[in-house]
Amino acid sequence: MTAKLTEAGFWRKTADSSSLREPRVLIRVYVDEGQIDHAIAFYEQLHGVEADMRFDFPEHRLVLAAVGPFLILEGAEENLRPFRSTVGTLLVDDIYPYHQRLLASGAEIFFGPVEVPTGACFNARLPDGTIVEYVHHRPRADE
């Protein structure tokens, strides 16, 4: 990864997802503490692309990075455990229309919407039981 983290442990190639025409699907990969750099290097080499985001999520003692279609979450097992049931993350232009459509379709919203370091997110249990995170990125979390 050629980009440098800010002093706050935060870097994204694209800070705003509002121009996305369709969701970016991110498959979750969970790694132990101290392993994120190795995982980033592996997925960069495997897919021939560079990581396009990396940030600390201090509230949950996690570090996250994205490389192509993979969202890598690093942390101690006790910190990763609450996130493991989520099968994927959808990076979208705006979470709120998805939130409304999911509620109307009978999905259960069990977390959020809340502000996160990158913007806002929520987690939903779809009618078939699949758990998915919806997130949008903004230059600042309160936008």
Q: Is residue 83 part of a domain?
A: yes
**pTM higher than the cut 0.75:** yes
Question: Consecutive sets of 10 residues in the chain, 143 residues long: mean pLDDT of each?
Answer: 48 83 96 98 97 92 96 98 96 98 97 90 97 91 55
pLDDT for the residue 2: 41
Examine residue 82 and state whether it is found in any structural domain, yes or no. Answer: yes
The residue segments making up the domain with residue 25 are 14-137
Give a yes or no: residue 30 inside a domain.
Answer: yes
Q: Over the chain, what HEC string results?
A: CCCCCCCCCEEECCCCCCCCCCCEEEEEEEECCCCHHHHHHHHHHHHCCCEEEEEEEHHHCEEEEEECCEEEEECCHHHHHHHCCCCEEEECCCHHHHHHHHHHCCCEEEEEEEEECCEEEEEEECCCCCEEEEEEECCCCCC
22: in domain: yes
We report the CATH number of the domain holding residue 27 as 3.10.180.10
